[in-house]
Structure 1
Amino acid sequence: MASVSSLGVGTSLDLDTLYTNLETAEKTKLTAITDQETTYNSKLSSYSKLQSSMAALETATAALTKTTAFSATSVTSTNTAFTATTDATASTGDYSVNVTQIAKAQTLISGSISSNSIALGATTSGNSRTLTIAQGGSSTPLTLTLTDSQTSLTGIADAINKSAGNISASIIKASSGDYRLMLSSKTTGTDSDMTISVTGDDTLQSAIGYDASATGTQNMSVQTASQNAKLSVNGVAIERSSNTISDALTGVTLNLKAASTDSSGETLTVSRSIDDTKKTINAFVTAYNSLKSTIASVTKYTAVTAGTSQSSSNGALLGDATVRAVESKMNSMLTTVQSGSYSILAQMGITIDPSTQSDGSTGALTVDDTKLTAALTNNPQAVSQFFIGDGSTTGFATQFDSTLTAMLSTSTGKEGIIKNAQDGINATLKELGTRYDTMSDQIDATMARYKTQFTNLSTLVNSLTNTSTYLTSQFSSSDS
């Protein structure tokens, strides 16, 4: 019997359409599963957003647990011979700084050379010689191998500069036929004085060799003599090779610019800086409000008319117990009373705004800058105590940070509330994936069974039709 290429072919039965309709109906069983997967994936994405906002808040909170957040200093004096910067370890007070001289780098210059391109060295059998520039403060001298073609002023300068060492080289053209090689130390101080020697080429050595301690080898001259920086701080004499001095006063870096014009020096004033502390506190407030905004977004509810479907714009975590627990804990932490002169945030000008913000969040923090500035100015130790406490179990920031860290923990056996929620969703998604595969296999088996039944039906109908046609033909012949 001929094979059937299409269901119902040769019959009046529209089995193809019936098969397609049955397949569509079967696949609706998969749609229910994929809809659930979409919902749970949206929840997982929203949890990631929540986790990110909480992590940002934890970072901002951790900054408030450090004593350096409340001990920042700044220079409030205006000085001409030097500038200064401070860190949290600097002690406040006035210091007398008198700069006698600033550090300078040594510069050497060669004698007059008629051309910057003429070879200054002798032709060597090995086509090379070694140029060595040693500096007193460096245990490793700059060593360069020069070819015959590199003994011109241009060749020497290029080789030195390309080495990226502690020496810079340049060529000065005084006039036509008068060129000079100038070598400068990149570091200041007498420890960086240069000694220049050439081995394997006495001719070049006689042109640029230099050793201040050896007679007859001073073929270059000192254009700028090196010198160390000299100053006094509160009458104590200090000498350094650099104009940047960070080890004279704890936490203070001095940058010397010129010798003091007044023999008595200048006053450096180091004061307590509240600006950095305010920035750290405001960063916490911003991060907290951002978390509130994220919570409002993932739990958003859009009202609809009774009897109609819920809005598709609702947050994926609307009504979620984990989010409610996080928000409840955060709200509770804000009102925890601390011991000390300041016991609650409001005393420092940080209050909770009960109104609904434009993003739908409520309970955002606001900062009264005037009140916060007054607290940091009048009693900085009390503010520090409020936030840090004992650094272990007490203190607003210490407790807040510990709570967030626990909630965000991913450590095995110590999983936080967010990790547990994510693990639960991932387990559900895995189960839905298994259900989908099982259901898909069942649908494939069902449709294969339908196809077999429809094929058999089509074959039977074709056979009956052929028999009917044959009998009709036979009866017609007998009648004639």
Structure 2
Amino acid sequence: MPTISSAGVGSGLDVAGIIDGLMAVERRPLQILSGKRQLYTTQISAYGELISSVSAFQASMENLNSVTALDKFKSSSTNPELINITSTDNPDFGNYDVEVTRLAEFHKMASNEILSTDTFGGSVGDSLSIQVGNDIEDIISVDLSTAQTLTEIRDAINADENNPGVRAALVNGDDDIQKLILTSDDIGSVNALTLSYSGTINSTTFGLQTLNDIGGDINLLDSEFIVDGFVITRNKNSISDVISGVTFELKGSEIGTETTLSVTRDTAGTEAQVRSFATAYNTLFLSIQSQRTGALGTDNLLLSIENQVKNILNSTVDAGTLNTLNDIGLSIDKDGVMSLESEILTAALETGYSNVAKLFSAEDDGYANRLSTLADNWVGSNGFISSRTDGLNQRIEDLSDRQLSIERNLVHVEARYRAQFSALDILVSRFQNTSQFLTSQLAQLPNLRINNR
């Protein structure tokens, strides 16, 4: 805003100070708007913290909103270097003795020792064909009607866009000697390689032979293991269809060595999952209490949220033998803090893990189900908290418009004051000059009377 740089020069009045005082009064509405803006900004920040707490609470509820939410399992292997459990999903519990007698392998073939400069083929109809598995469509043919070196044959196999699952490599020895190595992309007999030839090319041309120690029986490319005396073979080493709900990886074989796989319920994990419910509630409760003494102290939404949650927690669930949170050891003390009694939960779990899970996940009235829906009403795109935040943002936008309008008007107000007080300064200065002249003239009147005598 413009200011008067030398007001009152003629009259001696402190015009600049007077205008500053008047403008301070004029700016009071801006100070009020600034205070409101700060309040709204603080409230938006507080709502953001509340949304964060509610969202964490909702996420915890969703983790419990399933009949299998409490199905926690432990698994172990006495020889993880030979066999290791990689995952469990609603498994059959128990201890299983497993002996790994053979791992599934990639089928691997090697040629004779051949000079790198030697070529093969050169006649019309010459070719080498490689079939992967039993499907006659899974085949690759290398055209040798033009003579090819091992390097060129390798490159042709690997570059073929219709390669069904075989890779070629060269092993280079002394004196430019090479061997062509063929390897299936996947393990097991279903990926065994079968060679065929045409033209002048035959089995002796390359001398390709299986490197695996299978004695010509491709079934020996499969894994073999014994589970509690039951001999089983598979064309893979990751096994998921032998023990229901258990996936284990065969990592090494050792005939005569048994590995015990153990699959049991993880009671501690289940308790931790139930305890997470109490933790989520307490975090939300403490957040509400904190906001109640802060920027949102006058907002009845906090009390509404707290009451809605407590109404659900104090209700019953039609889920069979267990109907309340107290039935599984969850309770709220006089200070509003939820806690868990492990002994009661353990007793409840003995009636069936699904019974406890239904308390949270029952379709119509499960605690987690209803609380998650309730939280969505608060923090969803059209939720109560989101609506309040949107409203405050709109208020801040309106305040900004009003502040800008007032600031523009103050420019004109100050200019008006400056003009008015500049005119006043000139007028007062004239009065002062006139006063000084009259005073001077009046002071000389006695001298005039003396001279006239």
Whether TM-score is above 0.5 comes out as yes
**Which of 299, 317, 324 pairs up with 1:344?**
324
TM-score by length of 2: 0.72
Instruction: Kindly indicate whether residue 383 of structure 2 is the aligned counterpart of residue 372 of structure 1.
Output: no
Counterpart of 2:203? 215
Instruction: Kindly indicate whether residue 397 of structure 2 is the aligned counterpart of residue 426 of structure 1.
Output: no
Unaligned runs of 5+ in 1: 123-130, 145-150, 198-205, 207-213, 301-314, 355-361
Counterpart of 2:23? 23
Instruction: Kindly indicate whether residue 451 of structure 2 is the aligned counterpart of residue 451 of structure 1.
Output: no
Identify if the C-alpha distance between structure 1 residues 456 and 342 changes in structure 2 by more than 3 Å, giving closer, same or farther: same
Q: Give, in angstroms, the shift of residue 52 of structure 1.
A: 1.1
Instruction: Kindly indicate whether residue 373 of structure 2 is the aligned counterpart of residue 385 of structure 1.
Output: no
Partners of 1:66 and 1:137 in 2: CA distance: 44
- What SS does structure 2 have at the residue aligned with 1:338? coil
Counterpart of 1:410? 381
Identify if the C-alpha distance between structure 1 residues 76 and 335 changes in structure 2 by more than 3 Å, giving closer, same or farther: farther
Identify if the C-alpha distance between structure 1 residues 324 and 143 changes in structure 2 by more than 3 Å, giving closer, same or farther: farther
Matching of residues 99-114 of structure 1 within 5 Å: 99-109=100-110, 111-112=112-113
Instruction: Kindly indicate whether residue 367 of structure 2 is the aligned counterpart of residue 400 of structure 1.
Output: no
Q: Give, in angstroms, the shift of residue 23 of structure 1.
A: 1.8
Matching of residues 13-412 of structure 1 within 5 Å: 13-75=13-75, 78=78, 82-93=83-94, 99-109=100-110, 111-112=112-113, 135-136=132-133, 184-193=183-192, 215-224=203-212, 227-231=221-225, 239-259=233-253, 261-262=255-256, 269-300=262-293, 315-339=294-318, 340-354=320-334, 362-389=335-362, 391-392=363-364, 394-411=365-382
Identify if the C-alpha distance between structure 1 residues 449 and 260 changes in structure 2 by more than 3 Å, giving closer, same or farther: same
Identify if the C-alpha distance between structure 1 residues 282 and 183 changes in structure 2 by more than 3 Å, giving closer, same or farther: farther
Q: Deviations over 1:237-295 (max 9, x none)?
A: 754322012244442213123457359x7775543333443332232222222222322
- What SS does structure 2 have at the residue aligned with 1:328? helix
RMSD: 4.8
Unaligned runs of 5+ in 2: 121-127, 143-148, 443-447, 449-453
Q: Give, in angstroms, the shift of residue 410 of structure 1.
A: 2.4
Contact 2:77/2:83 (CA < 8 Å) preserved in 1?
A: no
Identify if the C-alpha distance between structure 1 residues 294 and 7 changes in structure 2 by more than 3 Å, giving closer, same or farther: same
- What SS does structure 1 have at the residue aligned with 2:273? helix
Q: Give, in angstroms, the shift of residue 8 of structure 1.
A: 3.1
- What SS does structure 2 have at the residue aligned with 1:351? strand
Partners of 1:449 and 1:231 in 2: CA distance: 100
Count matched residues. Answer: 417
Identify if the C-alpha distance between structure 1 residues 454 and 134 changes in structure 2 by more than 3 Å, giving closer, same or farther: farther
Report the residue type matching 2:278 in the other structure.
Answer: V
Identify if the C-alpha distance between structure 1 residues 27 and 195 changes in structure 2 by more than 3 Å, giving closer, same or farther: farther
- What SS does structure 1 have at the residue aligned with 2:204? coil
Identify if the C-alpha distance between structure 1 residues 242 and 324 changes in structure 2 by more than 3 Å, giving closer, same or farther: same
Instruction: Kindly indicate whether residue 404 of structure 2 is the aligned counterpart of residue 437 of structure 1.
Output: yes
Partners of 1:458 and 1:137 in 2: CA distance: 111
- What SS does structure 1 have at the residue aligned with 2:27? helix
Contact 1:169/1:184 (CA < 8 Å) preserved in 2?
A: yes
Identify if the C-alpha distance between structure 1 residues 89 and 17 changes in structure 2 by more than 3 Å, giving closer, same or farther: same
Identify if the C-alpha distance between structure 1 residues 121 and 373 changes in structure 2 by more than 3 Å, giving closer, same or farther: farther
Per chain length, whose mean CA-contact separation is higher, i.e. which structure has more relative contact order (CA < 8 Å, sep 6+)? 2
Q: Identity across aligned pairs (percent)?
A: 28
Structure with greater Cα Rg? 2
Q: Deviations over 1:411-453 (max 9, x none)?
A: 4xxxx33233324433433443344334334433322321221
